[in-house]
C-alpha cells in the first residue's frame, strides 16, 4: 500500500511560510521517498530553496514512516531544533502532517508541502494508478475486481454510461472505461449474465459520508474470538 503524493506549487508553500523566518523540515522515508516528493534529496532541495528565499532552516530529518506512532519519538529527539523554528514544513503525506502536529510538544504551525492524492497501485516502477476509493463496502466481487467507484469517472454501479467509446472514458482518452474492462473480464469468464443484476443503491454511511472512521483492531479481534 502506497500513499501517492505530489509536491504543492512552491508559491503555495511560500505563502504558508510568509510569516515564518526559521523553518524545520521533515520528510518521510516511506511513500514520499518512493514518490520522490519528500525523501532526503527533496528535503535537501527544499532546504536550498528556502535559503535562497531568505529563510533559515533550523534543522531537518527524514522520519522512517511518518504515519506510525514512532514519529512521536523522532520529534522528541529533534525537539531542540524544532523549538528554534517558527514552523514545521512537512514533506509527508497528510497522515504524516497530522501525526507530526499531534505529537509536537509546543503549539507550532505544521504546513504541508505535499498534496496527498490517493492510495495507489504500482503498475510499473514509478507508475501509480488509483484503483480503490476506500468506500467501506467493497463491490469488487461483482465487478470482476475492477472498482467502478473510482475507475469510472461517474462512479456508476450498473454499467457504462453513454460516453464510453472504443474502451475509453468520455472524460479523457487517457482513462480506460472501467465498465469496458469489467465487461471484457466478465465475458472472458462466461459471467456476463451477472451484469443483468441491478446493483442496489450504495451505503455511503460506511464511507467518509458517515463521519470519520475509526477502528480498534484489538477490540475487533477480542469480539471475534
Partner 1 sequence: MKAGTKLEKVLESGHFAVTAEAGPPKGTNAEVIKKKGELLRNYCDAVNVTDNQTAIVRLSSLAGCLLLKEQGVEPVMQMVVRDRNRLAIQSDVLGAVTLGISNILCLSGDHQKFGNHPTAKGVFDIDSIQLIQTLKRMRDEKKFICGEDISGEVPIFIGAAANPFADPFEYRASRLAKKVKAGADFIQTQAVYDVARFARWMEMVRERGLDRQVHILAGVIPIKSAGMARYMRDYVPGVIVPDEVVTRMEKAASAKEEGLKIVLEIIAQLKEIPGVHGIHIMAVGWEDIVPELVERAGLMPRPTI
- Which chain residues interact with partner 1 by CB under 8 A? 153-167, 170-171, 177, 180, 183-184, 192, 195-196, 198-202, 204
Minimum CB distance to partner 1, residue 210 (Å)? 13
Stretch (H or E) spanning 90: strand 87-91
Which CB sits closer to partner 1, 102 or 140? 140
Euclidean distance between CA atoms 8 and 152, whole angstroms = 26
CB 24 within 8 A of CB 90: no
Q: DSSP labels for 63-106? A: ETTTTSTTHHHHHHHTHHHHHHSSEEEEES-HHHHHHHHHH-SS
Euclidean distance between CA atoms 223 and 225, whole angstroms = 6
Which CB sits closer to partner 1, 88 or 177? 177
Minimum CB distance to partner 1, residue 162 (Å)? 3
Which CB sits closer to partner 1, 22 or 185? 185
Which CB sits closer to partner 1, 74 or 177? 177
Amino acid at each position: 500500500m502506497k500513499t501517492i503524493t505530489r509536491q504543492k506549487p512552491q508559491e503555495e508553500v511560500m505563502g504558508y511560510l510568509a510569516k515564518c523566518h526559521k523553518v524545520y523540515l521533515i520528510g518521510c522515508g516511506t511513500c514520499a521517498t518512493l514518490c520522490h516528493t519528500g525523501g532526503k534529496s527533496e528535503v535537501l532541495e527544499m532546504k536550498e530553496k528556502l535559503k535562497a528565499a531568505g529563510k533559515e532552516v533550523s534543522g531537518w530529518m527524514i522520519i522512517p514512516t511518518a504515519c506510525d506512532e514512532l514519529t512521536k519519538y523522532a520529534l522528541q529527539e529533534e525537539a531542540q531544533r524544532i523549538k528554534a523554528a517558527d514552523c514545521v514544513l512537512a514533506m509527508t503525506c497528510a497522515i504524516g502532517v497530522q501525526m507530526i502536529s499531534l505529537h509536537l510538544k509546543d503549539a507550532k504551525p505544521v504546513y504541508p508541502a505535499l498534496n496527498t492524492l490517493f492510495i495507489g497501485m504500482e503498475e510499473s516502477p514509478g507508475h501509480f494508478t488509483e484503483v480503490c476509493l476506500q468506500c467501506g463496502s467493497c463491490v469488487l466481487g461483482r465487478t470482476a475486481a475492477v472498482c467502478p467507484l473510482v475507475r469510472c469517472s461517474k462512479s456508476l454501479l450498473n454499467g457504462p454510461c453513454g460516453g464510453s467509446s472504443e474502451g475509453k472514458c468520455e472524460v479523457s482518452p487517457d482513462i480506460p472505461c472501467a465498465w469496458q474492462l469489467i465487461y471484457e473480464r466478465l465475458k472472458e469468464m462466461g459471467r456476463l449474465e451477472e451484469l443483468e443484476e441491478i446493483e442496489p443503491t450504495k451505503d455511503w454511511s460506511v464511507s467518509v459520508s458517515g463521519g470519520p472512521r475509526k477502528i480498534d483492531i484489538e477490540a475487533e479481534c477480542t469480539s471475534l474470538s
